[in-house]
Chains A and B, each alone.
Chain A
Amino acid sequence: MIKLSIRYINLIVLTVFVLLVFSFFLPYLFPGDLLTNITGITPETQQQREALEIAFKLDKSIFHQFVFYIENLFSGNWGVSTATQQSLKTEVALFFPATIELVVYALLFSILVGIPLGFIGGLRHHKGFDFPIVTFSIVGYSFPVFWIALIFITVFCLQLNWLPTSGRLDLLYDLPSVTGFVLIDIALSDIEDKSAAYKDAFRHLILPTLAVSVVTTALFARFVRRSIMDVMEKSYIIAAKSRGFSPWQIFLKHGFKNALIPILPILALQVSTLITNVMIVETIFSWPGIGKWLIEAIYQHDYPAIRIGMLAVSIVVMILTISTEFLTRAIDPTREKVEHATF
Chain B
Amino acid sequence: MQRFSHYQEEYYPSPLMHVWIEFRRSHIALIGFILLLSFFTIALIGPLLAPFDPDLQNTNAILLPPAWEPNGTVVHILGTDGLGRDVLSRLLYASQITFGSSLLVVIVAVVVGVSLGAIAGLLSGVKSSVVNHLFDSIMSIPTLLIAIIIVAILGTGLVNSMLAITLALIPQFVHQTRTFVKSELQKEYVLLDKLDGARPLQIFTHSILPGMVELIVVQASLALSIAIIDISALGFLNLGAQSNFIELGQMLSQSLDVAYVATWLVALPGFFILLMVLSVNIVGEGLRSALRNRLSH
The answer to the question of B202 belonging to the interface, with a C-beta cut-off of 8 Å to chain A, is: no
Q: For B277, give its contact among A142, A280, A299 (CB under 8 Å).
A: A142
134-193 of chain A: CB within 8 A of chain B: 138-139, 141-147, 150-151, 154, 158
Say which one of B56-64, B89-97, B104-112, B225-233 lies at the interface with A.
B225-233
A210-228 to B contact mask, C-beta < 8 Å, 1/0? 0000000000000000000
Assembled-state Cα–Cα distance A26/B145 (Å): 13
The answer to the question of B192 belonging to the interface, with a C-beta cut-off of 8 Å to chain A, is: no
Please state if A339 and B132 are interface contacts (CB–CB under 8 Å).
yes
For residue B199, give the distance in angstroms from its CB to the closest CB of chain A. 26
Say which one of A43-51, A109-117, A242-250, A270-278 lies at the interface with B.
A270-278
1-35 of chain A: CB within 8 A of chain B: 11, 14-15, 18-19, 26, 29-31
Chain B residue with the shortest CB-CB distance to A317: B140
Assembled-state Cα–Cα distance A280/B144 (Å): 8
What A residues does B225 contact at CB under 8 A? 141-142
Assembled-state Cα–Cα distance A158/B260 (Å): 8
Q: Contacts A313-B145, A339-B132; is A306 near B266 (CB within 8 Å)?
A: no
What A residues does B270 contact at CB under 8 A? 144, 146-147, 150-151
Chain B's interface: helix, strand, loop or mixed, by majority?
helix
Assembled-state Cα–Cα distance A218/B238 (Å): 27
The answer to the question of B249 belonging to the interface, with a C-beta cut-off of 8 Å to chain A, is: yes
Number of interface residues of A (CB under 8 A): 50
What B residues does A151 contact at CB under 8 A? 267, 270
Assembled-state Cα–Cα distance A250/B144 (Å): 43
Please state if A19 and B137 are interface contacts (CB–CB under 8 Å).
yes
Say which one of B14-22, B212-220, B278-286 lies at the interface with A.
B278-286
For residue A266, give the distance in angstroms from its CB to the closest CB of chain B. 12
Say which one of A77-85, A196-204, A290-298 lies at the interface with B.
A290-298
What A residues does B155 contact at CB under 8 A? 31
The answer to the question of B295 belonging to the interface, with a C-beta cut-off of 8 Å to chain A, is: no
* Count class of interface residues, chain B: 35 or more
Chain B residue with the shortest CB-CB distance to A159: B263
Assembled-state Cα–Cα distance A154/B266 (Å): 10
What A residues does B151 contact at CB under 8 A? 298
Chain B residue with the shortest CB-CB distance to A269: B139
The answer to the question of A54 belonging to the interface, with a C-beta cut-off of 8 Å to chain B, is: no
For residue A144, give the distance in angstroms from its CB to the closest CB of chain B. 5
The answer to the question of A321 belonging to the interface, with a C-beta cut-off of 8 Å to chain B, is: yes
What A residues does B280 contact at CB under 8 A? 142
The answer to the question of B75 belonging to the interface, with a C-beta cut-off of 8 Å to chain A, is: no
Assembled-state Cα–Cα distance A322/B155 (Å): 32
The answer to the question of A238 belonging to the interface, with a C-beta cut-off of 8 Å to chain B, is: no
What A residues does B118 contact at CB under 8 A? none
Please state if A314 and B148 are interface contacts (CB–CB under 8 Å).
no
Please state if B285 and A138 are interface contacts (CB–CB under 8 Å).
yes
Please state if A279 and B142 are interface contacts (CB–CB under 8 Å).
yes
Please state if B149 and A306 are interface contacts (CB–CB under 8 Å).
yes
Please state if B142 and A15 are interface contacts (CB–CB under 8 Å).
no
285-343 of chain A: CB within 8 A of chain B: 291, 294-295, 298-299, 301, 303, 306, 310, 313-314, 317-318, 321-322, 339-343
Q: For B142, give its contact among A18, A26, A313 (CB under 8 Å).
A: A313
What A residues does B267 contact at CB under 8 A? 151
108-157 of chain B: CB within 8 A of chain A: 125-126, 129, 132-134, 136-137, 139-145, 148-149, 151-153, 155
Please state if B152 and A318 are interface contacts (CB–CB under 8 Å).
no
What A residues does B274 contact at CB under 8 A? 139, 142-144, 147
Please state if A280 and B142 are interface contacts (CB–CB under 8 Å).
no
The answer to the question of A39 belonging to the interface, with a C-beta cut-off of 8 Å to chain B, is: no
Please state if B149 and A310 are interface contacts (CB–CB under 8 Å).
yes
Please state if A340 and B136 are interface contacts (CB–CB under 8 Å).
yes
Binding site for B on A (CB under 8 A): 11, 14-15, 18-19, 26, 29-31, 138-139, 141-147, 150-151, 154, 158, 269, 272-273, 275-276, 279-280, 283, 291, 294-295, 298-299, 301, 303, 306, 310, 313-314, 317-318, 321-322, 339-343
22 contacts between A and B (CB under 8 A): A11-B136, A14-B133, A15-B133, A19-B137, A31-B153, A31-B155, A141-B281, A142-B277, A144-B229, A146-B233, A146-B249, A146-B252, A272-B143, A273-B143, A275-B144, A280-B236, A295-B237, A299-B238, A313-B142, A317-B142, A343-B126, A343-B129
